[in-house]
């Protein structure tokens, strides 16, 4: 072990990202064009045309620093969510928001509460500031908010909630979350991470951004990486009252969201057709994948996101084994052994033809 750095940094297990297409092509001797990647919950339609046009225009000004305050993007978000612009913090992806929250609100040795099987970055952000993660056992693969409330310790400064959750796809209805928020001690900041919010069915949607008016300790986090198709650009944002927002802005790097990303995000935010097309594809793709799982007799967790967690075997080698068999056929999905789910794989919902390629490959992998 090296002598450099604090022990809590040396103890961090690095984030495992989905394998890039080029890497799988090299490793397995495959043609890149033939590879199907359903591993990182990206939008299968890619970047919206409206964002491409906005970026082409913004490219002319790349010699200058981006707007450090993201004036226009914040103005657009302020209109969309009906909150003042100074309640918004922009992030280099919402991952940045999660990290900024840990840096702004947690000191070394203090605790952070999050759920078992929730997003890996919560543990990483906690460890990065020398915090102590309190991992609350999941209930039916989702957050057990009663247990999370009970787990809040005197030194707890932050709670992370993913809704819908990644990698399990579970969803907590509005009333349950609000009842939780009403009971959380006022000195504990709650990050409500809604990376998949735009994929919710209309009847499940609710305006969490408006809860921020009522709860000064609430941060609502959103991203342009999933439904908006801008994962490679890295744009996310947080909505919180000015006291919390001001603290986050002290930690935030001044130019954390680049100019192309700001321009593309504004265009995407106004591109209702793109979102609608993505939502329709997602509902249909979910039906396509889960019908195949039913046919194969595979258990899956009902999902509210753009991915499905499926159990591919009853032994702890199953996830890795089936994943390798899929990779050899040029299909990249996400093993979730690192989440404590070694019998499962997480499949992002793709285009109909991509889902079909995956299903055929899965049948061979299981045979």
Ligand X SMILES: *Cc1c(COP(=O)(O)O)cnc(C)c1O
In the complex, which residues of this chain contact ligand X (CB under 6 A)? 41, 93-95, 119, 162, 166, 193, 195, 223, 225, 231, 236
Q: What CA–CA distance (Å, rounded) separates 144 from 139?
A: 5
Q: Which is nearer to ligand X, 237 or 330 (CB)?
A: 237
Using the minimum distance from each CB to ligand X, give the nearer residue, 44 or 330. Answer: 44
Task: Kindly tell me which of 191 and 318 has the beta carbon lying closer to ligand X.
Answer: 191
Minimum distance of ligand X from residue 231's CB (angstroms):
5
Q: How far apart are the first and last CA of the chain?
A: 43
Regarding beta strands 156-162 and 189-193, do their DSSP bridges make them parallel or antiparallel, or are they unpaired? parallel
- Smallest distance, ligand X to C-beta of residue 120, A: 9
Q: How far is it, in rounded angstroms, from Cα 299 to Cα 58?
A: 47
Minimum distance of ligand X from residue 29's CB (angstroms): 30
> What φ, ψ does residue 75 adopt, rounded to 5°?
-65, -40
Chain residue whose CB lies nearest ligand X: 93
As given in the structure block, the two tokens for residue 70 are 């993201």
Orientation of helix 318-328 relative to helix 352-366, angle to 10°: 120
Q: Which is nearer to ligand X, 165 or 329 (CB)?
A: 165
Q: What are phi and psi of 261, to 5 degrees?
A: -65, -40
In the complex, what is the shortest distance from the CB of residue 191 to ligand X, in angstroms, rounded to a whole number? 10
Comparing CB distances to ligand X, the nearer of 282 and 329 is 282
From the CB of 7, what's the least distance to ligand X, in Å?
Answer: 27
Give me 17's structure tokens.
């990202």
> Is the Cβ–Cβ distance between 98 and 120 less than 8 Å?
no
Q: What residues form DSSP beta bridges with 114? A: 135
Of the pair 97, 106, the CB lying nearest ligand X is at 97
Q: How far is the CB of 209 from ligand X (least distance, A)?
A: 16
């Amino acid at each position: 072990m090296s002598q450099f750095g604090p022990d809590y940094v040396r103890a961090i297990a690095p984030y495992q990202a989905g394998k890039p297409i080029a890497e799988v092509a090299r490793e397995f001797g495959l043609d890149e064009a033939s590879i199907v990647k359903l591993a990182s919950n990206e939008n299968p339609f890619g970047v919206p045309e409206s964002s491409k046009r906005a970026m082409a225009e913004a490219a002319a000004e790349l010699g200058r620093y981006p707007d450090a305050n993201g004036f226009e993007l914040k103005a657009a978000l302020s209109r969309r969510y009906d909150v003042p612009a100074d309640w918004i913090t922009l992030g280099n992806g919402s991952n940045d928001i999660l990290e900024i929250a840990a840096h702004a609100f947690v000191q070394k040795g203090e605790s952070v509460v999050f759920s078992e099987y929730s997003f890996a970055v919560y543990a990483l952000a906690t460890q990065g500031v020398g915090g102590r993660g309190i991992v609350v056992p999941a209930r039916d693969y989702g957050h057990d908010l009663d247990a999370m409330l009970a787990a809040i310790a005197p030194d707890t400064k932050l709670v992370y909630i993913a809704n819908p959750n990644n990698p399990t796809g579970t969803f907590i209805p509005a009333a349950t979350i609000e009842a939780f928020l009403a009971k959380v001690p006022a000195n504990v900041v709650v990050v409500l991470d809604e990376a998949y919010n735009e994929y919710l069915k209309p009847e499940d949607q609710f305006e969490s951004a408006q809860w921020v008016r009522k709860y000064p300790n609430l941060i609502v986090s959103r991203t342009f990486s999933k439904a908006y198709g801008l994962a490679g650009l890295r744009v996310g944002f947080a909505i919180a009252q000015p006291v919390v927002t001001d603290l986050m802005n002290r930690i935030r790097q001044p130019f954390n969201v680049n100019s192309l990303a700001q321009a593309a995000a504004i265009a995407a935010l106004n591109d209702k057709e793109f979102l609608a097309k993505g939502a329709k594809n997602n509902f249909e793709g979910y039906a396509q994948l889960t019908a195949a799982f039913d046919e194969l007799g595979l258990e899956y967790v009902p999902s509210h996101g753009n991915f499905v967690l499926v159990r591919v075997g009853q032994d702890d080698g199953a996830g890795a084994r089936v994943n390798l068999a899929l990779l050899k056929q040029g299909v990249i999905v996400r093993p979730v052994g690192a989440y404590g789910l070694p019998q499962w794989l997480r499949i992002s919902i793709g285009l109909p033809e991509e889902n079909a390629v995956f299903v055929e490959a899965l049948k061979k992998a299981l045979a």
